[in-house]
């Protein structure tokens, strides 16, 4: 008999209509999240250069990431590729050079939207 009492009190608290509305809301939010994640994937992939795309496409398992439009895994791959200094001859010097180039970037004095570097 305790089962019927707990079921009765649960249905009094929530009611089937409220539970159904809540479940539909959660499903709708999950659908929106999935669509937003796919949009994020396409926008992120669209911002990559052809060279970076080729490097990432060569990574094993990229086909699955691309098929699923998994933006989180794409961002992890981008981070790994962007900070991959192991492929350089001298990683410490190359890291220093990359920082130096970054700090040498400056805004063009006459054009506000252009960024130029005298060393690049």
Rounded to an integer, what distance in angstroms lies between the CA atom of residue 71 and that of residue 12? Answer: 42
User: Which helix H or strand E contains 61, and what residues bound it?
Assistant: none
pLDDT tens, position by position, 64-76 = 998 898 999 999 9
Give residue-wise pLDDT tens across range 53-62: 998 999 888 9
* pLDDT at residue number 96: 84
Which residues, other chains included, contact 98 with Cβ-Cβ below 8 Å and sequence gap of 6+?
none
């Amino acid at each position: 008999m305790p089962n019927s009492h707990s079921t009765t009190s649960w249905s009094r608290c929530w009611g089937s209509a409220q539970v159904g509305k809540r479940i539909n809301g959660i499903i709708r939010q999950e659908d929106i999240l999935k669509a937003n994640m796919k949009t994020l994937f396409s926008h992120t992939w669209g911002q990559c250069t052809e060279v970076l795309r080729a490097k990432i496409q060569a990574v094993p398992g990229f086909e699955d990431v691309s098929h699923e439009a998994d933006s989180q895994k794409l961002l992890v791959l981008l981070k790994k590729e962007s900070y991959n200094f192991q492929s350089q001859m001298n990683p410490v010097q190359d890291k220093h050079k990359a920082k130096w180039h970054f700090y040498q970037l400056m805004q063009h004095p006459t054009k506000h939207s252009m960024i130029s570097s005298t060393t690049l």
